[in-house]
A and B are shown apart, each in its own frame.
Chain A
Amino acid sequence: MIEYGTRIVAGVTPGKGRTKIHDVPVFDTVNSALESHNANASIIFVPAQHAKEAVMEAVDAELNPVVVITEGIPARDGMLLLAYAKERNTTIVGPNTPGVITPGESKLGIMPGSSFAPGKVGLASRSGTLTYEISQSLTHSGIGQSTCLGIGGDPFTGLDFVEVLKMFREDPLTESVVLIGEIGGSAEEDAAKYVRDSAYPKPVVAYVAGRAAPPGKRMGHAGAIITGSEATALAKIESLSAAGVKVAEVPSDLPRLLQGQVPALQH
């Protein structure tokens, strides 16, 4: 992150106060860090067992947004930390997210900067490495990105597709949007509904992973499981297509779909 240009002013690890890492001072608590440093956002790598309180500590210190990289947070803790943040008007990205990147400017996340390039496409995804795969293919096709964000692979996440779509709508630097979805939950269906109901003014294209996934099995991400007909990839692709979102059959079709060179998947 430092290499990419993000100004990391302090780290917090209980018991490691008064030390330094990569020349960044480390503190025992968030409050003590803020006594001598100005910060406006937080990124959390704390192990799942302690993640809930780490998020609360950042929220209490009025850092906003809070990006939660941690994977495997108990669902109950996830619900609690999201409710806590919502009450205090703090935006949570994740949990289980690669973070946020504005290519060429800064990133609050763990994605490889080399997969991204500055441009006008906004990207929101439920997955990590698949995001890098797709941003890389966009970048190689000469399509840069305004901001890319992982909403997180957990069942309970802070920002969802709809909220990110709203932000991209208001963002003058974003001209079109890529959504990368997967099986499980209803984030894609909700996004489709929002795009349709709001007559979304910018083009939206999508890819949905997991068309070959068997029902009832959880595919790696805690959130990626088909429960009933709603959560299947096909149902999601259908809702998106019906809302006017062009859906790519394979990830590598996305750049050409954005440029109008290949037809969208039909259902």
Chain B
Amino acid sequence: MAQTIEGSCRVKLFEYEAKSLAQNLGVLTPRGAVASTSEEARDIYKRIGGDVVIKAQVLVAGRGKAGGIKFASKADETRDRAAEILGMSIRGEKPRRILIEQKLVTKKELFVSIVQDRASRCQTILASEQGGVDIEQVAKETPEKLVQHKLDPVFGMRSYDARDVALKLGYQGQQLNMLADILSNLYRLSIVYDAELVESNPLVENEDGKFTAADLRLIIDDNSLFRHPEFQERSKEVSAEVSPLEAKARDRDLAFVELEGDIGIIGNGAGLVMATIDLVKKYGGSPADFCDVGGGANADHVAAALDVIQSSEKVKSVFINILAGITRCDEVAKGILEVKRVVGLKKPLVIRMSGTNQEEGKRILSSAGLTTLDKMDDAARLVASGEST
């Protein structure tokens, strides 16, 4: 199966947002509206009537299994179900809004996804006539039912790409053309919004033979946000997937992931920080975070990282591991002393510094009574044993 690069710290859109963007590009979606109170939900029911589905608007996956999707066929019932959902916590995320939609009479549920395929360096369409289920499972158990179609990275999806996929999903005649149109429109959505992922599961074949995107996920590549200023703030929003400490760190432009343990970790360069975490764990310590100040970090980056990490209650000590290349050890030392001067050093530190301007960095720190180690192994062992330098 094509490998996707879907992550939890990207800009994910809510279903109702994704659907509204898709509608503008000609994708058919169920009739409905979004509400933030149960009374609003009731009013929306009155406009739609019949059988409706009430869906929690959350960013975590697995909302259906967690009870975040309910059905109703009366106005008061809609209000009550809506109230239930608004009072729920879905895998740690409290829904602030609900989507009330007309319940579709489905003939078949399809799966359609447009992903960025690392191995092939292009976008790939993944589709299956077995929608509504976990697609990883389809890929594993019945791989022949998973259609994979690579798209040329320069020319993109051409109409015959879309028809090829529709054909492989078993459609012909007018339906083949209708499904191909929807695929083309979903592809346009992926291009217009620099989407890492566009996924409709299920994409429903209705009784009348038309296709409707019953669910829609859209994840925007956060490196493209300079082209999408309307979503820029979203990358910093706090959701259940981003802890308050992570939000605080991201506000200060740090690459930060909170972990379970009690040893704060700061390093420069993602690979080095991962290796540091692995080492601390090997020696019996438990890292509290992944914090990368960047390969070219300066005093401010280091100060910001130390400031954020020592504000965490659970952190008992902090390990700073710097391999200086573009970054200079004296800059790192100044960053540490800046924190000491402004708010004080609140946790025991273990500092390892090596590389550019190492001696100058050591001198600055020792004048403030702080010592450093040269080797990452020694430092990791020390911090894991609960001591400091």
CB within 8 Å of A: which B1-19 residues: 3-10
A161 close to B (CB within 8 Å): no
User: Across the two chains, which residue of chain B brings its CB closest to A209?
Assistant: B274
CB under 8 Å from chain A, chain B span 246-287: 255, 257, 259, 267-275, 277-279, 281-282, 287
Q: Mask for A58-83, Cβ within 8 A of B = 1, else 0?
A: 00000000000000111111011011
B153 lies within 8 A of chain A by Cβ: yes
Residues on A with beta carbons closer than 8 Å to the beta carbon of B366: none
Given A218-B9, A220-B290, does the pair A125, B223 have CB atoms closer than 8 Å?
no
User: Which residues from 70 to 101 on chain A have a C-beta closer than 8 Å to any C-beta of chain B?
Assistant: 72-77, 79-80, 82-84, 87, 98
Chain A 228-267 against B: per-residue CB contact (8 Å), 1 yes, 0 no?
1011010000000000000001111000000000000000
Q: Which of B9, B136, B271, B277 contacts A129 (CB 8 A)?
A: B271
CB distance from A256 to the nearest CB of B (A): 12
Given contacts A110-B326, A209-B275, contact A128 B355 (CB under 8 A): no
Residues on A with C-beta less than 8 A from B273 are 219-220
Q: Decide: B377 and A185 in contact? CB cutoff 8 A.
A: no
Chain B residues near A217 (CB-CB < 8 A) = 7-9, 257, 290
Among B4, B8, B227, B356, contact of A112 (Cβ-Cβ < 8 Å): B356
Q: In the complex, what residues of B have CB within 8 A of residue A228's CB? A: 3, 136
Asked if A49 is an interface residue, CB under 8 A from chain B, the answer is: yes
Count residues of chain B with CB under 8 A from any CB of chain A.
57
Which residues of chain A are near B271, meaning CB under 8 Å?
125-131, 153, 180, 182, 209, 221, 224
- A176–chain B nearest beta-carbon distance, Å: 21
Q: Is B292 an interface residue (CB 8 A)?
A: yes
Q: A74-B227, A79-B122, A79-B153 are in contact. Are A185 and B3 (CB under 8 A)?
A: yes
CA distance A186 to B4 in the complex (A): 11
* B375: Cβ under 8 A from any A Cβ: yes
Interface of B is mostly: mixed
Q: Does A13 contact B (CB under 8 A)?
A: no
Which residues does chain A contribute within 8 Å of B154, judged by CB atoms? Answer: 80, 83-84, 87
Residues of B within 8 A of A213 (CB): 274, 277, 290
- State the CA gap A231–B3 with chains docked (Å): 9
A-B pairs under 8 A by CB, number = 190
In Å, the complex CA distance between A129 and B153 comes to 31
Return B277 CB to nearest CB of chain A, in Å.
Answer: 5
* Nearest B residue to A210, CB-CB: B274
Cβ of A203 within 8 Å of any chain B Cβ, yes or no, is no
A218 CA to B255 CA in the complex, in Å?
9
| Chain B: CB-nearest residue to A111 | B325
Q: Which residue of B lies closest to A221 (CB)?
A: B270
**CB of B156, distance to nearest CB on chain A (Å):** 10
Question: B270 and A74: CB pair below 8 A?
Answer: no
Given contacts A79-B116, A186-B118, A252-B377, contact A224 B5 (CB under 8 A): no
B residues 100-138 near A (Cβ < 8 Å) are: 116, 118-119, 121-123, 136
Task: Decide if A7 is an interface residue (CB 8 Å cutoff).
Answer: no
CB distance from A240 to the nearest CB of B (A): 16
B136 (CB) vs chain A CBs: closest residue: A228
Binding site for B on A (CB under 8 A): 48-49, 72-77, 79-80, 82-84, 87, 98, 110-112, 114-115, 125-133, 136, 153, 155-156, 180, 182-186, 190, 207, 209-214, 216-225, 227-228, 230-231, 233, 249-252
Apart from A127-B271, A184-B5, A250-B377, list 6 A-B contacts with CB within 8 A. Answer: A76-B194, A153-B270, A153-B271, A209-B278, A213-B277, A225-B5
A-B contact pairs, 29 of them (CB 8 A): A74-B224, A74-B227, A75-B5, A76-B194, A76-B221, A79-B121, A79-B122, A87-B154, A112-B325, A112-B326, A112-B356, A129-B323, A130-B271, A132-B325, A132-B355, A133-B323, A136-B354, A156-B121, A182-B274, A185-B118, A210-B274, A210-B277, A210-B278, A211-B281, A219-B292, A220-B255, A220-B290, A230-B3, A250-B278
